[in-house]
């Protein structure tokens, strides 16, 4: 059986915050393709201690936003390999993907980066509809040839070279409680509403933002201009994109993401009012 020691050209970066409950599992999973570097955002639990016990290289850096955190890791961690895989603590490499990543890293003619499809597991069920699959991310790339775009949340990778796509998928396993899921998305809504304000008033990235609802092509700052956006998000996921075929999990996921839309919209309007009041003084 091929081992990661035979392929030292791949290294794995895992940003963390309070991941004590699953850090051991994700490190064991990621180690099958190469050495693991954990970049911790000053966790209050035992994430760092457990990660060190598992043999990972552990560094700390205060969290500013998602793109800055990952770019800090790309710039400052002592990577030595030719390839980097950046994954979150709730993602898992499948055996087929591990083998494919090894083949790519060993191929001198490989491209600059590769998109990976994610299979989302929510409430213990694989989500096949609702526009969730494939959730495609550029997360495997040659070291030094990619950076994260200047976004506070939902950051993407900017890679000037040619991009390919892995055939094998990765798993994105949501094991958090409903409370943890909602708490996380309150934070995301706060960050995304900040990004919308920054972009609207010339303080954000010049790149076109991903739209909040569809996550497809188009400017994200259209969010406040579309009426009934949360309702549209629910109908798009649950009806138009057949989320009802995922049963109870599909209903709850569409409802929660519609709520996320609503929270982001409310936060945006509140911040816009404050911005306008300050600007009028």
- The string of DSSP codes covering 82-110 is SEEEE--TTEEE-HHHHHHHHHHHT-TT-
pLDDT at 280: 75
Which CA distances in Å does 176 have to 123, 173, 184, 230, 240?
9, 9, 10, 23, 27
Which CA distances in Å does 233 have to 1, 151, 154, 218?
46, 22, 17, 16
pLDDT at 155: 87
Domains within the chain, CATH numbers bracketed: 4-174 (3.90.550.10), 178-279 (no CATH)
Residue whose C-alpha is closest to residue 112's, from 70, 159, 80: 159
pLDDT at 225: 55
pLDDT at 150: 85
CA–CA distance, 117 with 255 (Å, rounded to integer): 23
pLDDT at 52: 98
Cβ-contact 23, 38 below 8 angstroms:
yes
Give per-10-residue mean pLDDT for the chain (281 aa).
54 97 97 97 97 98 94 96 97 98 96 97 96 92 94 88 96 94 94 87 46 33 63 95 97 97 93 83 74
Cβ-contact 100, 112 below 8 angstroms:
no
Residue 187 token pair: 């934070």
Ranges of H-type helices in the chain: 23-30, 47-53, 66-76, 95-105, 178-200, 229-235, 247-279
């Amino acid at each position: 059986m091929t081992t990661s020691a035979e392929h030292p050209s791949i290294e794995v970066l895992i940003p963390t915050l309070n991941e004590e409950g699953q850090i051991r599992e994700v490190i064991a999973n990621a180690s099958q393709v190469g050495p693991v570097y954990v970049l911790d955002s000053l966790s209050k639990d035992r994430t760092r201690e457990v990660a060190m016990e598992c043999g990972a290289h552990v560094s700390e850096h205060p969290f500013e936003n998602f793109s800055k955190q990952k770019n800090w890791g790309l710039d400052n961690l002592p990577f030595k390999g030719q390839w980097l895989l950046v994954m979150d603590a709730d993602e898992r490499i499948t055996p087929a993907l591990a083998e494919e990543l090894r083949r790519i890293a060993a191929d001198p003619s490989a491209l600059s980066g590769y998109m990976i499809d994610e299979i989302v597991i929510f409430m213990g069920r694989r989500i096949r509809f609702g526009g969730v699959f494939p959730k495609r991310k550029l997360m495997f790339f040659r070291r030094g040839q990619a950076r994260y775009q200047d976004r506070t949340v939902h950051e993407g990778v900017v890679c000037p070279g040619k991009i390919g796509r892995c055939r094998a998928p990765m798993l994105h396993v949501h094991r958090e409680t409903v409370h943890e899921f909602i708490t996380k998305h309150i934070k995301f809504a706060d960050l995304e509403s900040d990004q919308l304000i920054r972009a609207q008033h010339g303080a954000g990235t010049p790149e076109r933002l991903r739209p909040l609802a569809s996550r497809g092509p188009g400017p994200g700052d259209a969010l406040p201009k579309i009426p009934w956006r949360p309702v549209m998000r629910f109908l798009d996921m649950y009806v138009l994109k057949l989320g009802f075929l995922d049963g109870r999990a599909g209903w709850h996921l569409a409802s929660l993401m519609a709520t996320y839309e609503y929270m982001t919209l409310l936060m945006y309007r509140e911040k816009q009012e404050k911005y306008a009041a300050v600007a009028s003084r």
